């Protein structure tokens, strides 16, 4: 559960007034780990604004996979997996994320 920025500020204000972690936890009903994380965030960034999530692909670059499928429309999933250095099920899931369905000799792109 995410806490409002003003609530986090109030928790840290209370903490900076000289109260212990245990007292702050009891008053605001927030875990000690959350309080420590907020203190760390404030020290590092100077703000209690939530950090942006950095999402990246792990093994399969969607752009490269799309280009590979266009260049090799008849390739089996195992051949694609070998080219990307992963397993067949990972390719299947990546194709599903890209909404690419493969039927026999044609590749169909679904739009929703």
The yes-or-no verdict on residue 103 having pLDDT over 80 is: no
Q: Is the pLDDT of residue 105 over 60?
A: no
Higher pLDDT, 2 or 37: 37
pTM for the full model?
0.51
Cβ atoms of residues 91 and 60 within 8 Å: yes
- Long-range CB contacts (within 8 A, 24+) of 2-9: 2/50, 3/30, 3/34, 5/48, 5/49, 8/38, 8/48, 9/48
* Listed residue (85, 43, 79, 45) closest to 61, CA to CA: 85
Domain residue ranges of the chain, discontinuous segments joined by +: 5-45, 62-109
pLDDT at 109: 61
Over 60: is that where the pLDDT of 32 sits? yes
| pLDDT at residue number 111 | 57
Binning pLDDT at 50, 70 and 90, where does residue 100 land?
Answer: confident
**Mean pLDDT over all residues of the chain?**
87
Alpha-carbon span 60 to 103, nearest angstrom: 21
């Amino acid at each position: 559960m995410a806490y409002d920025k003003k609530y986090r500020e109030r928790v840290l204000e209370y903490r900076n007034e000289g109260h212990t972690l245990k007292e702050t936890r009891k008053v605001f009903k927030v875990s000690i780990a959350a309080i420590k994380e907020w203190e760390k965030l404030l020290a590092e960034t100077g703000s209690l604004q939530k950090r942006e999530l950095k999402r990246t692909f792990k093994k399969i670059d969607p752009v490269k996979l799309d280009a590979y499928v266009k260049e090799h429309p008849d390739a089996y999933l195992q051949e694609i997996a070998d080219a990307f250095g992963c397993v067949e099920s990972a390719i299947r899931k990546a194709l599903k994320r890209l909404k690419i369905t493969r039927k026999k000799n044609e590749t169909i792109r679904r739009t929703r």
